[in-house]
Structure 1
Amino acid sequence: MFAMALVLLMLGFQVAFVFGAVALFFALITDEMGLHVLEMLPYRTYGIMGNVTLMAVPLFIFMGLILEKSKMAENLLMSMGQLFGSVRGGLAISVVLVGAILAASTGIVGASVVMMSLIALPLMLKHNYSPALASGSIAASGTLGQLIPPSIVLIVLGDQMHLSVGDLFKAAVVPGLLLIVLYILYILVFAFVRKEAAPAIVSEESYGKVAKAAFKAILPPLLLIGAVLGSIFAGIASPTESAAIGVLGAMGLAAMNRVLGFDLIHYASIETVKLTAMIFMILIGATAFSLVFNELGGGDMALTFFTGEMGDKWAFILIAMLVIFLLGFFIDFIEIAFVVVPILVPIVASFHIDPIWFAILIAMNLQASFLTPPFGFALFYLKGAAGDKVSTGAIYRGVVPFILLQVVALGIIVVFPELIYLFGK
């Protein structure tokens, strides 16, 4: 089933219909099953549509799309670029920090990468930055939205692994900060070793004036992040309720920047419906796939293999992470979360592995799937927005060090699992 699904995906068929078609095909060709195995599908679909946790998905997407058009990213990038420009590699560091702020406020990878490609990339190339460093820092920073709350990946994982989304958000804060620190350290070392590849930029304006402008640009999104995540962490609101608060906050920021209007709301609404429909169609296809897969004994076979024949918790964790990492080269995080993760859940329970820690490892791993060639979505977004400014080879060379840094961060969280609970259980 997996082999056929992978081949069809590589041929370019739509994801949701691939999983649904493979489920139908194997239900029909298996003598002991037949189509009656899919009688449960309408009930499962109804359960998905009535899922309160998944209601946060369209709300966070809508919030991100409003912010995308509110000129917040543009103001942030210009201000932060001036603030850190006098340091070698300062523009790349400002891109990482802006990527982190956008991740915590919009959470939409495509929007973050495209915005930074259009605004920061020409500026970095103009100041003689290495095309590889410039493109690598933009692609890696743009994907921070996969891990830093409020992340769509964490909401989906919380639903699929039956975990509290609020707990996952708290657990993801330290891994997210760890990645930001590793990215900045790498840029500083790179700029120190290759001075010509990341030069410092001398500003005409006084530093006090620049710092004041940067503070004014950073304060509104920080207040929004504080309202959204603070309400979840304090236990005042559920992720779905805090997403609604975030939508109101995003509309307030857009109004403050004088861009809120019917056209903006219409654009954000239509795009939210498109993205949400895509995610839910994939979920329905994946549910059909899982039904047939489990009925054929796939889940039991995986459980028996890991708990009986292998019987080693660390071997299971290593293989699971490796499989997810390799699948990330070819398929999107949504398919992995909806198809692979449900197979792993009973094995995680049988080994008494901390499910929140395991979910964070999966989220960190899935983040790398946005950067890994040949189908890393961040690479497509970057190349599409950059056009001929950078070559595909430069983009690939640029992202490799950041993929390695993500593996290092994953290793640190594996060795020191207690780090994820620094913000409380």
Structure 2
Amino acid sequence: MEYLAIVLFVIIFILILRGYPVAFTLGGISVAFAFGVSIFAPEAFQMSTFYLLPARIMGVVNNYVLMAVPLFIFMGIMLEKSGLAESLLETMAMMFGRVRGGLAISVVIVGALLAASTGIVGATVVTMGLISLPTMLKRGYKTELATGVIASSGTLGQIIPPSIVLVLLADTINSSSRGSASVDVGALFSAALLPGLILVGLYILYILIKSFIHKEDAPSIPAEEIAAFRGADFTSKILKVLFLPILLIVLVLGSIFTGIASPTEASAIGAIGATLLTVIQKKFSFKILKEVAQETTKLTSMVFFILLGATTFTLVFRTLGGDAYLQELIMSSNLTPLMFLLLVMVVIFIAGFFIDFIEIVFIIVPVVTPIFNAFGMDMLWVGILLALNLQTSFLTPPFGFALFYLKGVAPDHVKTSQIYRGIIPFIIIQLIIVGVVVFFPEIIFISK
């Protein structure tokens, strides 16, 4: 009767593709399906199994690691309200203004800094889209290059720690491992740092090559404009704009990497630091605090409702023997561990065209994690590969959320087709990084 678990998985996947709410589809369909099976095939599922569900739900609610999620979200939204992105973009643009493509390079660097201090993709893409896209277009940048740079830079928060997706991945892998080797969030953060920085470097390299070959696509800023902006106090401007955000990044990531604080404790430091930074920037008010708290509550509620629905789905799927069935099927198919890894990566990449990374984390990852463990694969390495792959889900048409965010704030003359074309080179770069980490896994252990 194990095939019933696969039927459940397919039904849920199809309903999510049709746009039904993820959290209630995961939980509601799982309960309804289990109820039907308990009536027509009671030997496959007993409704008394749901007595285990409250304990599992409380395990999620009481999970100390997951407390980092609302705190990192709060940190990101508060920094968005501080005006940090606008100041960074303006200053960086003038620092790299003499370089052809310098404005695009500044967007990538600011995206990396925001990723290391916020990790909120939607906020980063919208903010940079509002601030930098009109400027880039006004200065003669090709639309495809400008939109591609902004969308891809905005998703760096998916892989550069502190990343919410890494927190959720670590928790999902650990809860699906059934006593096998666990993955520490701090170790996942450390392992993700170097691949994330290499990705930033490749983005910049692509921009330099693109602007060298097609000079008209990325013109430099006029020298007189740069001189007017810099003035006598340019050094103090740089220190003021860069010092505090970098200090916050060092405090948050440094405390995790050195073992002084856990990721959850570091997220609390980040939330307080972001609030203080907003105060220093003279942008803080109780109205802003209320808005940040409301947005944090909405995003956190969405994540946890999906997580509770996924917990219900996992209980039913495993009780029906779905994980054991898949493990037996894969093992008997004579797939090597690398072949299975590549198969999973292809499936996740294709799924990213249609569904969000959260759905992939909570639906697909729990199903494949026991098989990875059965193959004896290093789950830290697998986790980084999954995170890099999931980053593409924000960029791949037709449902890449970063593309929707950018289209929503782009000028009317910017076409969706231009945004889609502009993102293709950056998706290729991300896939190259995935390939590098697959065949050179020592990269993550160097950064660890």
The question of a shared fold, defined as TM-score above 0.5 by the shorter chain, is answered with yes
Instruction: Determine the C-alpha separation between the residues in 2 that align with 1:152 and 1:186.
Output: 27
Compute the displacement of 1:310 (Å): 2.4
Residue 146 of structure 1 contacts residue 363 of structure 1 at CA under 8 Å; is this kept in 2?
Answer: yes
- Residue 116 (structure 1) aligned with residue 140 (structure 2): no
Alignment-mate amino acid for residue 195 of structure 1: K
Residue 70 of structure 1 contacts residue 257 of structure 1 at CA under 8 Å; is this kept in 2?
Answer: yes
Q: Which of the residues 90, 105, 108 maps onto 1:78? A: 90
Instruction: Determine the C-alpha separation between the residues in 2 that align with 1:381 and 1:78.
Output: 21
Taking every aligned residue pair, what percent have the same amino acid on both sides?
52
Identify if the C-alpha distance between structure 1 residues 212 and 192 changes in structure 2 by more than 3 Å, giving closer, same or farther: farther
Q: Which of the residues 253, 259, 263 maps onto 1:229? A: 253
Q: Which of the residues 17, 21, 28 maps onto 2:24? A: 17
Equivalent position SS for 1:372: coil
Compute the displacement of 1:239 (Å): 0.4
- Residue 140 (structure 1) aligned with residue 152 (structure 2): yes
Say how many residue pairs are matched: 424
Compute the displacement of 1:348 (Å): 1.4
Q: Aligned residue for 2:109?
A: 97
Residues 250-289 of structure 1 mapped to structure 2, 5 A cutoff: 250-289=274-313
Compute the displacement of 1:20 (Å): 1.4
Instruction: Determine the C-alpha separation between the residues in 2 that align with 1:389 and 1:356.
Output: 44
Q: Which of the residues 169, 182, 199 maps onto 2:202? A: 182
Residue 368 of structure 1 contacts residue 406 of structure 1 at CA under 8 Å; is this kept in 2?
Answer: yes
Q: Which of the residues 3, 10, 18 maps onto 2:10? A: 3
Q: Aligned residue for 2:363?
A: 339
Compute the displacement of 1:201 (Å): 1.1
Q: Which of the residues 68, 71, 75 maps onto 2:80? A: 68
Alignment-mate amino acid for residue 60 of structure 2: I
Q: Deviations over 1:115-165 (max 9, x none)?
A: 000000000000010100000000000000000000000001111112110
Instruction: Determine the C-alpha separation between the residues in 1 that align with 2:361 and 2:261.
Output: 25
Compute the displacement of 1:26 (Å): 1.8
Instruction: Determine the C-alpha separation between the residues in 1 that align with 2:281 and 2:190.
Output: 31
| Range with greater deviation from structure 2 (104-113 or 382-391) | 382-391
Q: Aligned residue for 2:47?
A: 35
Alignment-mate amino acid for residue 17 of structure 1: F
**TM-score when scaled to structure 2?**
0.92
Instruction: Determine the C-alpha separation between the residues in 2 that align with 1:352 and 1:152.
Output: 26
Unaligned 5+ runs, structure 2? 1-7, 175-182
Compute the displacement of 1:208 (Å): 7.6
Residues 50-61 of structure 1 mapped to structure 2, 5 A cutoff: 50-61=62-73
Identify if the C-alpha distance between structure 1 residues 261 and 4 changes in structure 2 by more than 3 Å, giving closer, same or farther: same
Equivalent position SS for 2:333: helix
Q: Which of the residues 417, 420, 424 maps onto 2:444? A: 420
Q: Deviations over 1:184-218 (max 9, x none)?
A: 11111111111111111113243685455234311
Residue 89 of structure 1 contacts residue 191 of structure 1 at CA under 8 Å; is this kept in 2?
Answer: yes
Compute the displacement of 1:330 (Å): 1.0
Equivalent position SS for 1:94: helix
Instruction: Determine the C-alpha separation between the residues in 2 that align with 1:168 and 1:282.
Output: 22
Alignment-mate amino acid for residue 199 of structure 1: P
Q: Aligned residue for 2:431?
A: 407
Identify if the C-alpha distance between structure 1 residues 171 and 292 changes in structure 2 by more than 3 Å, giving closer, same or farther: same
Instruction: Determine the C-alpha separation between the residues in 2 that align with 1:375 and 1:7.
Output: 15
Equivalent position SS for 1:388: coil
Residue 134 of structure 2 contacts residue 411 of structure 2 at CA under 8 Å; is this kept in 1?
Answer: no
Q: Aligned residue for 2:396?
A: 372
Q: Aligned residue for 1:157?
A: 169
Instruction: Determine the C-alpha separation between the residues in 2 that align with 1:20 and 1:236.
Output: 38
Instruction: Determine the C-alpha separation between the residues in 2 that align with 1:306 and 1:191.
Output: 47
Instruction: Determine the C-alpha separation between the residues in 1 that align with 2:422 and 2:79.
Output: 28
Instruction: Determine the C-alpha separation between the residues in 2 that align with 1:129 and 1:28.
Output: 58
Compute the displacement of 1:255 (Å): 0.7
Instruction: Determine the C-alpha separation between the residues in 1 that align with 2:17 and 2:145.
Output: 30
Residue 107 of structure 1 contacts residue 146 of structure 1 at CA under 8 Å; is this kept in 2?
Answer: yes
Instruction: Determine the C-alpha separation between the residues in 2 that align with 1:66 and 1:164.
Output: 27
Q: Aligned residue for 1:199?
A: 219
| Range with greater deviation from structure 2 (16-25 or 219-228) | 16-25
Compute the displacement of 1:387 (Å): 4.2
Equivalent position SS for 1:409: helix
Unaligned 5+ runs, structure 1? none
Alignment-mate amino acid for residue 245 of structure 2: P
Instruction: Determine the C-alpha separation between the residues in 2 that align with 1:409 and 1:389.
Output: 33
Alignment-mate amino acid for residue 9 of structure 2: F
Say what the alpha-carbon RMSD is for the aligned residues: 1.3
Residues 376-395 of structure 1 mapped to structure 2, 5 A cutoff: 376-395=400-419
Compute the displacement of 1:99 (Å): 0.2
Compute the displacement of 1:287 (Å): 1.1
Instruction: Determine the C-alpha separation between the residues in 2 that align with 1:156 and 1:42.
Output: 20
Alignment-mate amino acid for residue 78 of structure 1: E
Compute the displacement of 1:2 (Å): 2.8
Instruction: Determine the C-alpha separation between the residues in 2 that align with 1:41 and 1:193.
Output: 59
Q: Aligned residue for 2:139?
A: 127
Alignment-mate amino acid for residue 157 of structure 1: L
Q: Aligned residue for 1:171?
A: 191
Q: Deviations over 1:249-285 (max 9, x none)?
A: 1111101111112111111111111110100000111
| Range with greater deviation from structure 2 (273-282 or 310-319) | 310-319
Alignment-mate amino acid for residue 291 of structure 1: L
